[in-house]
């Protein structure tokens, strides 16, 4: 637990036998937290003492001990360690945990505002690793929020090694479950923070690992954007927003976030659990893949550099991101992926709105996009050129953002000025009278779209969203379709069709879909799970090991380790021994396959 500066000693501190209670350091809905001294092991600890009115409930006491023993099994560098739990015959019910000397993520956001998107994503990688471990042990957190994340930071100048410079810890596992359905909520009160709760939690439905995916999505959105996705004038409005799945697109609220990160957030914040990432590992893999695409391979180093010097690190990160994003946009345009090109160019413009090369690229992409839309509508090219003569005069005065496909809600005012020019979308914008928000994730099934033409020889398959955003291949009845991206329109007959979705090098789990016969257009929401590699280190050493090129926790010998590879599906990595003689070995990894390396 987090230990703030010392307070004056209270005359009413509890007596806990084995532990000398020193001071109160926190107070919550379930317990009071104290700093205490464990004289047997000569260390300070945090002790959470259950409130008396809860302690008197036999059901709560039984649930408390059960949850405490379940959480005590968790051993992960990003989870606060549980040391001890009170005995059945003790007058107080308490939990003894690791004492942390750092700041909560809530305080960091309150003091400094939103984080650079890549820093926020690096933080999420740490937390998702913790959640994946907990879920594998059958433990669901249920209350993911910045107040339950603690960061311990030791500056580089203090001589700390990289793993120690920033430690990210997730606290309070199982607390929401302890209070839930044990007579504690019989008054109908909603416990916890409604803005962070998954819809199924609010509705009292079955809760599994995907509720934590939702909670992590809320946390990541706030870190990237600077405010919560679900807001309202009162708790009732917030609850309604969560239950309706209505929130503004992260990219619209803060253009520096970009479409790729916004799409990943949508994959976590889907209204229905089945439409979210399947678990913490799936979300983590998607984040690691996007980080690698923009040049971030060492998330621990980025976190350490940022918390050493936030302003300097942010400036350096932006300076490096702009050319990387510009190159990604250029590469996507060269490959004919105009929506991806627009996405990366728009994000680069958010950082450098007056860059001449970016403005020229955006203008060119806009002309290509308008020409394609005109051809689909049957508008003569000459008319398009006349239109662009007008746009050329007025266009630089406006920033055109991509349209939304979800239900409209009023968007917040963005404090930062928008770039002076961006790329027009490849689908027609909604009527001006209807403000828009981001596309909410939909199930991986095909849906028919109402068409004004009752009968026609052909129809279109419209790609509404794609995860991962790069590298997906689609075959229609055995014929490859080039350049799959959001906004892609595929002409097809009215007959039934078979669609196969894959990634190069087996990087994703393949998926086969059937399109029913009909004359209406069909929307495709594509969300493929990334396939990790697995690795085992064979050695007689008892050392811990780390993979240098991939952000992930340290691991021991003969431990089967999941290694996210991203859309490449293969990678050569360095396995490093973390204690003398500090040996290193290269190993080839491939998606869906297990590799082993021997270190003698």
Catalytic sites, residue numbers: 143
Q: How far apart are CA 29 and CA 193, in angstroms?
A: 12
Q: How far apart are CA 381 and CA 387, in angstroms?
A: 10
Structure tokens at 373: 């839309």
The residue count of the chain comes to 600
Burial 193-224 (b: 16+ CB within 10 A, else e): bbbbbbbbbbeeeebebbbbbbbbbbbbbbbb
Of the candidates 79, 278, 271, the residue with the CA atom closest to the CA atom of residue 174 = 79
Residue with tokens 């050129």: 385
Q: Are 511 and 500 in contact (CB under 8 A)?
A: yes
The DSSP line for 361-427 is HHHHHHHHHHHHHHHHHT--HHHHHHHHHHHHHHGGG--PPPPP-S---PPPPPSSPPPS--PPPSS
How many CB atoms are closer than 10 A to CB 357?
A: 12
Q: Are 558 and 538 in contact (CB under 8 A)?
A: yes
Q: Report helix, strand or coil for 158.
A: helix
How many CB atoms are closer than 10 A to CB 165?
A: 21
**Contacts with 579 (C-beta within 8 Å, 6 or more apart), sequence order:** 543, 544
487 Rama sector, left if φ>0, alpha if ψ -120 to 50, beta otherwise: left
Structure tokens at 489: 């329109």
Q: Report helix, strand or coil for 87.
A: coil
Radius of gyration over alpha carbons of the chain, in Å? 26
Taking CA atoms, 372 is separated from 319, 368, 375, 431, in Å, by 33, 6, 5, 20
Is the bond preceding 464 in cis, omega lying within 30 degrees of 0? no
Q: How far apart are CA 224 and CA 227, in angstroms?
A: 8
* Residue 84, beta-bridge partner list: 96
Taking CA atoms, 369 is separated from 230, 308, 361, 533, 571, in Å, by 33, 43, 12, 38, 35
Q: Is the dihedral of CA 136, 199, 104, 185 positive or negative?
A: negative
The enclosing H or E element of 321 equals helix 310-334
Q: How far apart are CA 433 and CA 417, in angstroms?
A: 22
Q: Are 126 and 307 in contact (CB under 8 A)?
A: no
Residue with tokens 């596309």: 439
Q: How far apart are CA 163 and CA 545, in angstroms?
A: 12
The enclosing H or E element of 260 equals helix 258-268
Q: How far apart are CA 269 and CA 63, in angstroms?
A: 29
């Amino acid at each position: 637990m987090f230990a703030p500066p010392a307070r004056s000693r209270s005359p009413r501190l509890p007596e806990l036998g084995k532990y000398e209670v020193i001071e109160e350091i926190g107070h919550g809905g379930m317990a009071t937290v104290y700093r205490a001294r464990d004289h047997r092991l000569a260390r300070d600890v945090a002790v959470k003492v259950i409130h008396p009115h809860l302690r008197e409930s036999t059901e709560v006491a039984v649930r408390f001990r059960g949850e405490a023993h379940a959480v005590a099994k968790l051993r992960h560098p990003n989870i606060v360690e549980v040391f001890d739990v009170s005995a059945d015959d003790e007058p107080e019910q308490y939990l003894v945990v690791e004492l942390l000397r750092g700041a909560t993520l809530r305080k960091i956001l309150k003091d400094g505002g939103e984080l650079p998107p890549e820093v926020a994503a690096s933080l999420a990688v740490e937390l998702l690793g913790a959640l994946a471990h907990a879920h594998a042990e059958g433990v669901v957190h249920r209350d993911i929020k910045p107040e339950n994340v603690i960061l311990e930071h030791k500056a580089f100048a203090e001589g700390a090694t990289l793993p120690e410079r920033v430690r990210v810890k997730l606290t309070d596992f199982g607390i929401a479950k302890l209070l839930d359905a044990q007579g504690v909520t019989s008054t109908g009160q909603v416990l916890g923070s409604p803005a962070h709760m998954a819809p199924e939690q609010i509705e009292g439905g079955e809760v599994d690992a995907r509720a934590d995916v939702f909670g992590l999505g809320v946390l990541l959105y706030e870190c990237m954007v600077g405010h919560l996705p679900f807001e309202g004038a009162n708790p009732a409005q917030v609850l309604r927003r969560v239950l309706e799945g209505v929130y503004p697109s992260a990219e619209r609220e803060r253009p520096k976030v970009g479409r790729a990160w916004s799409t990943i957030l949508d994959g976590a914040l889907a209204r229905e659990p089945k439409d979210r990432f399947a678990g913490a590992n799936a979300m983590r893999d998607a984040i690691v893949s996007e980080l690698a695409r923009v040049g971030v391979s060492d998330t621990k180093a980025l976190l350490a550099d940022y918390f050493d010097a936030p302003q300097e690190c942010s400036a350096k990160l932006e300076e490096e991101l702009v050319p990387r994003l510009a190159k990604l946009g250029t590469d996507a345009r060269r490959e004919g992926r105009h929506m991806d090109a627009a996405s990366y160019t728009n994000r680069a413009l958010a950082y450098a709105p007056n860059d001449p090369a970016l403005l020229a690229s955006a203008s060119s992409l806009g002309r290509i996009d308008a020409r394609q839309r005109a051809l689909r509508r049957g508008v003569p090219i000459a008319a398009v050129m006349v239109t662009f003569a007008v746009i050329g005069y007025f266009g630089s005065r406006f920033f055109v953002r991509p349209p939304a496909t979800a239900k409209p809600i009023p968007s917040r005012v963005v404090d930062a000025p928008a770039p002076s020019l961006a790329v027009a979308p490849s689908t027609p914008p909604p009527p001006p009278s209807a403000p828009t928000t981001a596309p909410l994730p939909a199930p991986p099934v095909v849906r028919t779209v109402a068409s004004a033409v009752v009968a026609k020889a052909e129809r279109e398959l419209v790609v509404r969203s794609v995860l991962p955003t790069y590298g997906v291949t689609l075959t229609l009845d055995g014929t490859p379709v080039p350049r799959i991206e959001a906004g892609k329109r595929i002409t097809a007959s009215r007959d039934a069709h078979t669609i196969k979705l894959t990634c190069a090098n087996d990087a994703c789990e393949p998926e086969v879909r059937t399109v029913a016969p009909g004359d209406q257009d069909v929307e495709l929401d594509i969300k493929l799970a990334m396939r990790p590699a697995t690795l085992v280190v064979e050695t007689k050493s008892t050392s811990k090991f780390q993979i240098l090129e991939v952000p992930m926790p340290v691991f021991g010998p003969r431990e089967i380790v999941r290694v996210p590879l991203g859309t490449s599906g293969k990678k050569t990595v360095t396995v490093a021994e973390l204690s003398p003689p500090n040996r290193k070995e290269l190993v080839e990894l491939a998606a869906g396959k297990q590799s082993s390396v021997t270190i003698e």
